[in-house]
Structure 1
C-alpha cells in the first residue's frame, strides 16, 4: 500500500510521451495575454494587478541593477504557481514534486547570480566568505563553512519546494483513503475526516502559492547580495 501512495510522484508516460512535458506547457495556456482594448476581462485585470503587486513587493528593496531580472523572476514565479495549482486537480501530475525538475530551475538561477556578483563586484562577492573582524585562527574554518553554505543554496531551494508539495499531496491521499475506507463502517467519522480533507485542500492551495513565492523571494535575496 505504501508503494501505491508514492506512485503518484512517478513521472507518468502515455503513448511514449512523458506527461511532465504536457504539465510544463500547461501554464502557457492558463494565463491570458494583455490586449490593446480599453476594456479587458475581470480575469485579465486581476492577473495584471497580481503581477504588478508581486513585482513591486519583490523588487522594491533591491537595487536598480536587479530590476533587469524582474521579467525572469516574476515569470518563474507565475510558472511555478500554475504548475503547483494544476497539480492539485484530480488525474493530474505535479512536476514540482520531482527534485530534478526543481533543481533544473534552482541551479542555473543561483549560478547566474553568483557569476554576476563575481563579474561586477568580485571584492564584495568574496567578502561574503569571511565576516569582518574574524580572529585569525577561525579564518580557514569560516571560509570553508561559508563556501559550503553558498553551494547548499540551490539544493535548499529545490528541496524546500519538493518536500512541501510532496508532503501535502501525500497527506491528502492518506486522508482521502481513510475517508473511503470508513465511509461504510463509520459514516460520522468519515464525514468529519472529509471536512478535514477539504480544509487541508484549501491549505494546500495556499502552500502551492506560498512556496512558489518563497522560491523566487530567496532567489531575489541572492540577487541582492551580488548586485
Structure 2
C-alpha cells in the first residue's frame, strides 16, 4: 500500500526519463485504422458509428461556420476518453489527473473561440459582457463580473476534469485498501466492500466517459457564442 494516497498521481519516470509523452502517445496506437476494403470489421464500424453520432449531436445546435471544428472535437473526445479509461487499468498512469495538462487543453481551445468571436463578430462578442436591459448604475459592476467569468472558463474546464478523475481514483484506492485490510480479519465485510469497489469502478468508467464529453460539449458551447 502506498504511503501517500497522492503518489499515484505523480508523473512516472524510467531511469530519470518522464513517461508522460508515452502515456499521451499510446491511445492513438490503439484506435483501429481505416482500410481499403469495401466492408469494415465490426470494431471499425462501431467506432465510425460512435464518432458520427457524437458529432451530429454536438454540432446540431451550431451553425455551419462551427462545423469546421467537427474533426478536432471528435479527435479530442476520443483522446480524452482513451486517457481516462486507460488510467483505470492496473499499473497505469492517468495524464488527465494533472491540472497542467488539462489547462494545456482548455486554455488554447478557449482562447481560439474568443479570438474567432473578436475577429468575426466583435460587437456580439463584447455584447456578452453586458446583458440587455441592465440599469446604468450596474453596468460597470456587471462588465467586471462578466469579464471575470469569461476568463474563469478555461480554469473551470481544467479543474472540473482534474477534480472528478482525482476524486474517483482516490475513492477506488481507499476502498481497495480497506478490502485488503479486512480480508484477513473480517471476510464477510471484505466481500461486501469488494462488491462496493466493483460498483464504484463501473461508476468511474462512466465518469471517465462523461467528463470527456462534458469537456468537449462546453468547448462547443463557447464556440457557438462566437460563430
Question: Fold match, TM over 0.5?
Answer: yes
TM-score of the aligned structures, taking structure 1 as reference length: 0.98
Equivalent positions of 1:77-92 (< 5 A) are 77-92=77-92
Equivalent positions of 1:33-44 (< 5 A) are 33-44=33-44
Distance 1:113 1:79 in 2: 20
Match of 2:140 in 1: 140
Equivalent positions of 1:88-167 (< 5 A) are 88-167=88-167
Paired residues, number: 227
SS at match of 2:118: helix
TM-score of the aligned structures, taking structure 2 as reference length: 0.98
Report if the CA contact (8 A) 1:106-1:158 is conserved.
yes
Match of 1:18 in 2: 18
Distance 2:38 2:119 in 1: 44
For structure 2, the 5+ residue unaligned runs are none
Distance 2:222 2:76 in 1: 15
Match of 1:75 in 2: 75
Distance 1:2 1:139 in 2: 53
Report if the CA contact (8 A) 1:19-1:93 is conserved.
no
Match of 1:226 in 2: 226
For structure 1, the 5+ residue unaligned runs are none
Answer yes or no: is 1:62 the counterpart of 2:62.
Answer: yes
Measured after TM superposition, the shift of residue 3 of structure 1 is: 5.3
Deviations 1:54-91 (A, max 9, x none): 00010011010000001111111110000000000000
For residues 194 and 146 of structure 1, do their structure 2 counterparts lie closer, same or farther at Cα, with a shift above 3 Å needed?
same
Distance 2:160 2:169 in 1: 14
Q: Which runs of 4+ in 1 moved over 2 A?
A: none
Distance 1:207 1:39 in 2: 33
Match of 2:172 in 1: 172
Match of 1:53 in 2: 53
Distance 1:104 1:138 in 2: 35
